[in-house]
Amino acid sequence: MKKFVVLFALVFCAASGAWAQSYVFVNSETIFKSQADYNSAIKQLDDLSAEYQKNIDDAYAELDETFNNYAAQRGYLSETSRQNREEQIVNREKEIKKYQQDVFGPEGELMKKRIELIKPIQERVFAAINKYAETNNLGMVVDRANNQTLLYYQPALDKTDEIIKMLNNN
């Protein structure tokens, strides 16, 4: 019984120490959107994405036209001509899909541009959050942006505005 009481006391003390850690909340989405260079980068990425998508849409429209022309002429073509045209259509579709993957894929041009534009901003924001945490001797900073499991928090613990002020003063 004595061992149980001692063990319980140790666990209780350890748990109390864990709860004594100080923590705050931030909304990283709000922080990023407060930065002009972030908004500019997002606009550039949206414009680039729209341009790439237009190129793909135009290529598919051209492919549809080519296919419709082929379908209309198919009855008049020799077997060799039909096979050649079908092969051209299939190859063109493969080219378009490859272009789409090269642009929008996980390692595509758009992702590379996103990393180029956004990564320095992310590093600056995360450095400001880390500096704030270290300066205020915090044990944890919780991001409440897109956090669907956060059911409640005290607004007084939200330090988003303070992080934004830090970033704007630098």
Over residues 53-108, the pLDDT tens digits come to 999 999 999 999 999 999 999 999 999 999 999 999 999 999 999 999 999 999 99
Looking at residue 1, its pLDDT comes to 45
DSSP secondary structure of 116-154: HHHHHHHHHHHHHHHHHHHHTT-SEEEE-TT-TT-----
In a domain, 16, yes or no: no
Q: Pull the structure tokens for residue 72.
A: 């209309």
Check: CB of residue 32 under 8 Å from CB of residue 160. Answer: no
Q: Pull the structure tokens for residue 13.
A: 């003390």
User: How much is the pTM?
Assistant: 0.76
Q: Pull the structure tokens for residue 131.
A: 């500096």
Looking at residue 151, its pLDDT comes to 84
In a domain, 48, yes or no: yes
**82 contacts: CB under 8 Å, gap ≥ 6:** 74
Containing 25, the helix (H) or strand (E) segment is strand 23-26
Kindly list the distances between the CA atom of residue 111 and the CA atoms of 74, 107, 145, in Å, as whole numbers in the listed order: 41, 6, 22
Range(s) of the domain holding residue 163: 21-169
In a domain, 119, yes or no: yes
In a domain, 135, yes or no: yes
| Alpha-carbon span 63 to 77, nearest angstrom | 19
Number of structural domains found in the chain: 1
Q: Residue 170 has what DSSP assignment?
A: -
pLDDT at 5 over 90: no
Question: Residue 142: left (phi > 0), alpha (psi -120 to 50), or beta?
Answer: beta
The confidence band for 153, taking pLDDT boundaries of 50, 70 and 90, is: confident
Query: Residues 16-40, buried b or exposed e (16+ Cβ, 10 A)?
Result: eeeeeeeebbbbbeebbebbeebee
| Alpha-carbon span 49 to 103, nearest angstrom | 9
